[in-house]
Structure 1
């Protein structure tokens, strides 16, 4: 179970935070091309009572680093939450990814039964590790990642599910699928060869 807890957290956050970083890079470039002030997008919301893009990115990183830290029984790094540019948000994502890499898979051992306490402005929440990961963190992480994507898509950024999902780790594909998904030729070639070898060995 320890390995499953690791596989269901650190690699998942890493993959999607890299996707989010790539989407933010596209957004910054697109804003420049279209003559849109970056702060317009960074402060954009889906609804008046929802948080803006910058906050959505901050909270997604908070869930990722906080989850990995708590599952491993470590303190989570605290960020200042002062990011106000695309470059600063990307730097925050890089810091989050760097922290996640410092925790070895073995440190997630027995984390499914670890007692987790979350102190929030409205009170405290108590979980076992598995419930915390699957019932609280992952839904929250995806909510804020998706909302960040949706804000940019709603404001005209030409991205789709391909950018949101990225190239899923462990996924194999044939040449047609690689072309449809826009995978780089080298990566597609490796994936096709690997799939062919796997098929031949059966």
Structure 2
């Protein structure tokens, strides 16, 4: 079976978004155990000049499902709307994205190959074909934001390990 654009994107998006959903549950449990508001974690940052946890989770969604929607539309721009400010709302956002990704047919994604599309941010324009946009731009951004979300929780004491980030690998038995 030839390797496809679908295989290179959607299963990994779903794997990591499922892991992010589990991170949110662990953050909520940790906060309850510590007697703090889990929603305070949404505002935490790794560094003063970085955006907070809530933004990182929202951006992981934007660079997975949002990237697919961008290819469908032929243009992708950063989502500048506010991010959810509660763990529960972030969890709902991730769950909705994962469900939408699950519903995508492989043939649709594989049909994107060679399709022109553009990334825009203000006056900046970057032209791509769909597969290069997804694999060289959005996918690295997706992993960056998912990793940063993990790192913020870890830096704030949430007991996490590498397997929490990886989620469930797609083994032969699964």
**Superposed pair shares fold, TM > 0.5:** yes
* Equivalent position SS for 1:9: helix
Aligned length: 172
| Aligned-residue offset at 1:15 | 0.7
CA distance in structure 1 between the aligned counterparts of 2:36 and 2:17, rounded to whole angstroms: 24
CA distance in structure 1 between the aligned counterparts of 2:159 and 2:143, rounded to whole angstroms: 20
Task: Tell me which structure has the larger Cα radius of gyration.
Answer: 1
* 1:22 matches 2:22: yes
Q: Which stretch of the first structure deviates more once superposed, 127-136 or 147-156?
A: 127-136
CA distance in structure 2 between the aligned counterparts of 1:55 and 1:13, rounded to whole angstroms: 17
Q: What TM-score, normalized to structure 1?
A: 0.76
* Equivalent position SS for 1:61: helix
CA distance in structure 2 between the aligned counterparts of 1:45 and 1:21, rounded to whole angstroms: 19
CA distance in structure 2 between the aligned counterparts of 1:170 and 1:67, rounded to whole angstroms: 26
Partner of 1:97: 98
* 1:9 matches 2:9: yes
Cα 1:100/1:2, change in 2 over 3 Å: farther
Partner of 2:39: 39
Partner of 1:161: 162
Cα 1:72/1:8, change in 2 over 3 Å: farther
CA distance in structure 1 between the aligned counterparts of 2:107 and 2:12, rounded to whole angstroms: 17
Partner of 1:56: 56
CA distance in structure 2 between the aligned counterparts of 1:65 and 1:132, rounded to whole angstroms: 13
Partner of 1:132: 133
Decide whether the 8 Å contact of 2:75 with 2:119 is kept in 1.
no
| 1:73-96 deviations in Å (ceiling 9; x for gaps) | 5899x8964411111000001111
Decide whether the 8 Å contact of 2:38 with 2:87 is kept in 1.
yes
Decide whether the 8 Å contact of 1:20 with 1:164 is kept in 2.
yes
Q: Which stretch of the first structure deviates more once superposed, 17-26 or 62-71?
A: 62-71
Decide whether the 8 Å contact of 2:56 with 2:149 is kept in 1.
yes
| 1:27-77 deviations in Å (ceiling 9; x for gaps) | 01101110122232111100000000001000110111122224455899x
* 1:88 matches 2:89: yes
CA distance in structure 2 between the aligned counterparts of 1:23 and 1:118, rounded to whole angstroms: 30
Q: What TM-score, normalized to structure 2?
A: 0.88
CA distance in structure 1 between the aligned counterparts of 2:91 and 2:161, rounded to whole angstroms: 20
RMSD of Structure 2 on Structure 1 (CA): 2.5
CA distance in structure 2 between the aligned counterparts of 1:79 and 1:92, rounded to whole angstroms: 15
